[in-house]
Structure 1
Amino acid sequence: MATYNSIKPELVQFDKYDVTGIIELSASVGWDYDDNEIGTVMASGKIFGHKNADGKIVSSAAIIPYDNHLASIGMVIVNKEFRGLGLGKEATQKCIDVVPIDTTIMLIATEEGKTLYEKMGFRTVDCVHKYLCDNYTAAKPINKSSVTIEDFSEIDFTEIINIDKAAFGDKRSNFLHNRINQSEQCLVVKDKKANIIGYGISILGPINLILGPIVAPDSQTAALIIDSLAFRHQGKLRIDVPSGNEEFMLLLEQAGFKKASKPPIMVINSVNMPSRNNTLFGIAAQIFG
């Protein structure tokens, strides 16, 4: 722990002028945030944190409120020289305080942060499976005859919002609008009657092409979306898969993905995860729940 000249770092809400400092803080713990990702977080929610006496950002925490009664916390980081001062707890509590008291708040915890969140009242309700891939190859020929995959069009947005709500557990129109604008590619899956039954988004980060959200009626269709998003990409891939999708995870492993970790999902102001219909095969990113 560093001394801080007897002046406690100030808790503030960050704005666009703080983006570079947030990226530097995230890089110090090995996280690969960039300008575009921070921009989506700020457009979709709020980021709080501490600055030291010199104006350097030494902690952060972000809250993403969705349309009804659900929000997600992420980007909880404390500079290693300022740990042990309660900065992470204070920034996280600020995130909790800015949403209505009846809001269910979820987060995906690191091992280092899990104890803190438990002390704050969060409880583990599930987990996600982080998968990485260096060399993607489609696992096997996938039957495409019953569906079509098309590039997203603005006229598709309302249908995407609706199927995402059933898959995720809350409507998140503002976030999805921002995420699609940020995306490298956004695809929709239509059945023979031209109804949208799934969609997938890819985000090009500084290290990985991030695949998610992925919403589909079944694991084969989800794998088809992954193949359509990934097959032309020359580089590393990442997807975070909710639990209960064993068949889909097997298809990922056959395509070259390897499981890197299994972080817990924790919630407060609820005893359960929000109700979902088992069509969410990949989350947007850990910060977005």
Structure 2
Amino acid sequence: MSSGAFPSPQAARIDGPIIRPLRPGEEAELEALLAAAYGHARFGPTVRRLAGMADAAVHVLEAEGALRAAAAVVDYGRVAYLGIVGTDPAMQGRGFGRRIVEAALAPVPPDRVILLDASVAGAPLYEKLGFVDVDQSVVLEARAPVEAPPVPGMAALTEADLPAVIAYDSGVFGADRTSGIRALFREHPGGAVICRDGGRVVGYGLRQPDRIGPVLAETQAIGAALVAALSASGPEGPATITVPSSNAAMLDHLRGRGVAELRRLRHMRRGGDRHPSDRGRIAVMASFHLG
């Protein structure tokens, strides 16, 4: 287990409902809960990914014999990311959302910077818990390949490239995301691209079935070329692309090629005196649970 992994949380009873770790075999029930909470059924890969990561802790709230709320935190050592916060719509108004978030955050060491991406409806809760806005995360949808001029040094990313990619990613993101990057690569090794300048990594990108990301790059031209390659390599159908609002060049590039903006989330931070990432070099985020 990495140095950033959590201690094993203890189950806590709060006015009847029980907050505890997700148990093996409950993944399908958690997927159903998140599908109801978010209104779509694409959480299978996310749940399986988090359940298999040693530095991820998935908390659930059980009430009336079923899972009613959930939240997960991935602890990268210097930075922790809160995600998949969801409550059964039939249980709204009972305070389950706040309870599960507080339980998920409780084991996080006090020296961690905690990041999250909040909807308009969810942000007031996080404000009460001490989170502040630092940026926006812009969700777009590409319905066709996103064209861009190629750049020198691009190649398929192989497993042998992962140590260099992880080191590059850590310098941009501000923490070691080894577990998340390796998990994404294992899931879709054919959807990965690297860009080198000589022997130095200057960008990389990963593709998920319905999502592009993460994509990190030293220049806008490299980021655009990586997105183009990844958008052409995936299955047919729309692909989500989530871009930090501070990367205005990538947003302008995507809009100029007809990629539609769907919504914006409030990118929030608790702890530290500044954002740990260079959001200008993050062309595309990985997800709302991996950062």
Q: Same fold (TM over 0.5)?
A: yes
Q: How many residues are aligned here?
A: 273
**Which whole-Å CA distance do the structure 2 matches of 1:13 and 1:227 have between them?**
39
- Counterpart of 1:60 (choices 70, 74, 84) is 70
Contact 2:245 2:251 (C-alpha < 8 Å) held by counterparts: no
* Alignment map for 1:1-289 (pairs within 5 Å): 8-28=16-36, 29-44=38-53, 45-54=56-65, 56-66=66-76, 68-138=77-147, 140=148, 142-144=149-151, 147-183=152-188, 185-191=191-197, 193-204=198-209, 209-232=210-233, 233-276=235-278, 278-289=280-291
Q: Kindly state the Cα deviation for residue 275 of structure 1 after the two structures are TM-superposed.
A: 4.2
SS of residue paired to 2:182 = helix
The TM-score with structure 2 as length reference comes to: 0.88
CA offset digits 1:142-177 (Å, max 9, x no partner):
143xx2322222221111111101211111112211
CA offset digits 1:260-282 (Å, max 9, x no partner):
11211111123421142732111
Identity percentage of aligned residues? 21
SS of residue paired to 2:25 = helix
Contact 1:15 1:42 (C-alpha < 8 Å) held by counterparts: no
Q: Kindly state the Cα deviation for residue 50 of structure 1 after the two structures are TM-superposed.
A: 1.1
Alpha-carbon spacing, 1:133–1:143, altered in 2? closer, same or farther (3 Å): closer
**Amino acid corresponding to residue 203 of structure 1 in structure 2:** Q
- Name whichever of 249-258 and 107-116 sits farther off: 249-258
**Which whole-Å CA distance do the structure 1 matches of 2:246 and 2:100 have between them?**
32
RMSD between superposed Cα atoms in Å: 1.9
SS of residue paired to 2:138 = strand
Q: Kindly state the Cα deviation for residue 48 of structure 1 after the two structures are TM-superposed.
A: 0.6
CA offset digits 1:190-244 (Å, max 9, x no partner):
22x243211100111xxxx211110111111111111111124421011110122
**Which whole-Å CA distance do the structure 2 matches of 1:88 and 1:277 have between them?**
28
Alpha-carbon spacing, 1:157–1:136, altered in 2? closer, same or farther (3 Å): closer
SS of residue paired to 1:263 = strand
Contact 1:60 1:76 (C-alpha < 8 Å) held by counterparts: yes
Contact 1:25 1:77 (C-alpha < 8 Å) held by counterparts: yes
Alpha-carbon spacing, 1:154–1:129, altered in 2? closer, same or farther (3 Å): same
CA offset digits 1:31-86 (Å, max 9, x no partner):
443332211122230111112222x21100010110x2210001111111212222
**Which whole-Å CA distance do the structure 2 matches of 1:216 and 1:74 have between them?**
24
Q: Kindly state the Cα deviation for residue 7 of structure 1 after the two structures are TM-superposed.
A: 6.9
SS of residue paired to 1:16 = coil
Segments of 5+ residues of structure 1 without an aligned counterpart are: 1-5
SS of residue paired to 1:288 = coil
The TM-score with structure 1 as length reference comes to: 0.88
**Amino acid corresponding to residue 189 of structure 1 in structure 2:** C
**Which whole-Å CA distance do the structure 2 matches of 1:245 and 1:65 have between them?**
25
Segments of 5+ residues of structure 2 without an aligned counterpart are: 1-13
